[in-house]
Amino acid sequence: MRHRFILALILPAALSIAQVQPVQVEVAHLREDVRGLVQRVGELSLRIEQLERENNALRNQTNAAAESFVTMKMLNDAVTDLNRTIRSSAATTKSETLQQVATQMERLARQTNAAIDSLAKGMATRPPVNTIFTEDYPKEGVSYTVQRGDTLSSIAQKHGARVADIMNANKITDPTRIQVGQTLFIPVAK
């Protein structure tokens, strides 16, 4: 009986302690949960502030893009204007070029006509071309290669020969038509 009495005394006290401990544990857990929630709410608040800043930056970029937005019609109009300008410029350039070409052709035609007239006058005053050659020249002589600036008279003078003998020996019809590199026989009298 005595055990029952002690048990009756201890049991309610043990029960009340057992009931108090889980409540304290639960309160401690709740406090920890609340602390975790407060921390999480703080993190979320920071994230919301960051998202708002990013949203404002995107809104500003969108507004700037809207200000520089070009419609397709505006682009087509710009291309049409550019094509019109290019065609006009090309026509002007073509006209100017044709005018320059015409002016140069007229100038060249005048120069050509003047040169032809000069040649015609020169031909009229020139002695007739010799087409008859004689064998009346010295048969001994030297070979000579025509150099730049040579004339038949200068070659004859260098070798002590006569121009007529050089022309007969080489069958030269026009003394002005010797060419650089041409080899001539220069008859020299002994």
CA distance 156 to 142: 12
**pLDDT at residue number 125:** 64
CA distance 96 to 91: 9
Chain-centroid distance of CA 176 in Å reads: 52
At 89, the amino acid letter reads: S
What are the tens digits of pLDDT across the range 155-182? 999 999 999 999 999 999 888 889 999 9
What residues in the chain have per-residue pLDDT under 70?
1-20, 66-70, 123-130, 190
Q: Give the H/E segment covering residue 100.
A: helix 72-125
Q: Which SS3 state, helix, strand or coil, does residue 143 take?
A: strand
At 72, the amino acid letter reads: M
- What tokens appear for 9 in the block? 């005394």
CA distance 170 to 185: 6
**pLDDT at residue number 1:** 55
**pLDDT at residue number 74:** 85
**pLDDT at residue number 8:** 57
